[in-house]
Structure 1
Amino acid sequence: MTTEEKIDQSETRAFKVVFPETTNHHNTMFGGRILMMMTETAFMTATRFSRKDFVLVSSGKIDFTKPIPAGTLVELVGRVARIGNTSIEVRVEVYLEKMNEEFREKVVGGTFTLVAIDQNSKPVPVC
């Protein structure tokens, strides 16, 4: 399998409903909750790409372009953006969907760098 085929096959999509317990006093989703979900999606994407254990080492700039209201759906899409020797960078984009309308819009995006590790928590090659 080529690297591009592995990247395509490891693309990860996760859906969540924005329930009231995940929102702030503005009735929009907590930013911290979105960051947690994006980190999980990045981890799943990296794992699906190389089938190794990973730890998060950094996140790049996260752009929140629009609020995410309660009562909507979010789709998180993770895709491998760069492969290093022991690290992998995953781009995660978050899309807002209205439940009762044909509406989909990108509302958050960011990058996450993870390092592959062995059972002793030492870095190992990604591929």
Structure 2
Amino acid sequence: MSDESSNGRSSRTDRMTITTQLVKSEDLNHHQTLYAGRCVEWCVQAAYIAAERCFAVATPVVFMSIRGLSMRSPARLGELVQFTGVIDYVGSSTIGVRIDASTVQPIDQPRAIATGRFLFCTVDENGKAVAHHLPEKEPAGRGAAARWKSESDIEPGVTIDH
């Protein structure tokens, strides 16, 4: 069975996306742990990659909002941090990505670093929201849909500032 939709765009919303970053000295704060701003940057980047991978061809996807981000424990100099992205919500023009960040080593005892939800929107060349034609997906769990829906139902044609 093909994962292509009728318009040539893929419906690959069940894939997991994994990126890894090395914590370097320039990523540290005054406590000598990973600066939260850098962690947010890496989370947004991983979430963008997860959202873009839903499509078979490059599709303009822009960041809309962070729907929640919790720092769980500090990452230190030299640690590898893995960012795992999963598509948690798909609206008519929006894609919600959950990111879980954790240490890679020791492999048998990964440590949670951060968890967050990030919302993206597909746009046309004028920055207006457009339908992406992916199959809609509701997140699992009680109350999960409400976390995404408050501002995620962007009507096609609305200009998104980015």
TM-score normalised by length of structure 2: 0.70
User: Which one of the candidate residues 87, 105, 110 is aligned to 1:104?
Assistant: 110
Q: How many angstroms apart in 2 are the aligned matches of 1:7 and 1:101?
A: 27
Q: How many angstroms apart in 2 are the aligned matches of 1:102 and 1:19?
A: 23
List, as ranges, runs of 4+ consecutive aligned residues in structure 1 with deviation greater than 6 Å.
none
User: Which one of the candidate residues 65, 68, 76 is aligned to 1:61?
Assistant: 68
User: Which one of the candidate residues 15, 19, 26 is aligned to 2:24?
Assistant: 19
State the 1:28 CA deviation: 0.5
Q: How many angstroms apart in 1 are the aligned matches of 2:14 and 2:90?
A: 14
State the 1:27 CA deviation: 1.1
SS at match of 2:81: strand
Residues 1-127 of structure 1 aligned to structure 2 (within 5 Å): 1=3, 6-9=12-15, 11-50=16-55, 51-98=58-105, 102-127=108-133
TM-score normalised by length of structure 1: 0.88
State the 1:115 CA deviation: 0.5
Q: How many angstroms apart in 1 are the aligned matches of 2:4 and 2:73?
A: 36
Q: How many angstroms apart in 2 are the aligned matches of 1:79 and 1:91?
A: 5
The structure having more radius of gyration, on CA atoms, is: 2
SS at match of 1:71: coil
Q: How many angstroms apart in 2 are the aligned matches of 1:102 and 1:20?
A: 26
More strand by share: 1
State the 1:97 CA deviation: 2.5
Tell me the percent identity: 24
CA deviation map 1:67-111 (0-9, x unaligned): 11111110001110000001110001101133x664312220000
Unaligned runs of 5+ in 2: 6-10, 134-162
Change in 2 beyond 3 A, CA 1:78/1:101 = closer
Q: How many angstroms apart in 2 are the aligned matches of 1:83 and 1:12?
A: 16
Cα-Cα RMSD: 1.9
Check whether the contact 1:88–1:126 (CA below 8 A) recurs between aligned residues: no
Check whether the contact 2:43–2:83 (CA below 8 A) recurs between aligned residues: yes
- Tell me which amino acid in the other structure corresponds to 1:80: I
Unaligned runs of 5+ in 1: none
More helix by share: 1
Tell me which of the two structures has the higher relative contact order, counting C-alpha pairs closer than 8 angstroms and 6 or more residues apart.
1
